[in-house]
Amino acid sequence: MPLTPECIRILKEPFGSLIPDEKVTRSRLNAILKNAKKIISVGDATTGRLISFGIIPNVSVLDGKRGA
């Protein structure tokens, strides 16, 4: 589903915890997400990293521009 420019602008702002890439670990993510009711990932790289740690988001927003 295409997003409006306004939606794109809003989604570029971090919601929740923002962890610098070099500090992302499976244990850190599990600690942050342990009480989460829903997990929403924004971005191809973010979603891929979560999945690589066995964390499956309830909703993922992807644009096909991994690392662009």
pLDDT at 67 (0 to 100): 57
The answer to whether position 66 is within a domain reads no
The answer to whether position 48 is within a domain reads yes
DSSP H helices, the chain, are 5-11, 26-33, 44-52
- Residue 54: domain span: 5-61
The answer to whether position 68 is within a domain reads no
User: pLDDT tens digits, the chain, 68 residues: what are they?
Assistant: 788 999 989 878 887 777 888 889 999 999 989 999 999 888 898 899 999 999 999 999 888 776 55
CA distances from 32 to 21, 28, 39 (A): 15, 6, 11
pLDDT at 37 (0 to 100): 94
| CB-CB neighbours of 50 under 10 Å | 19
The answer to whether position 42 is within a domain reads yes
Q: In total, how many domains does the chain have?
A: 1
Q: Per the structure block, which two tokens stand in for 13?
A: 């702002």
pLDDT at 66 (0 to 100): 66
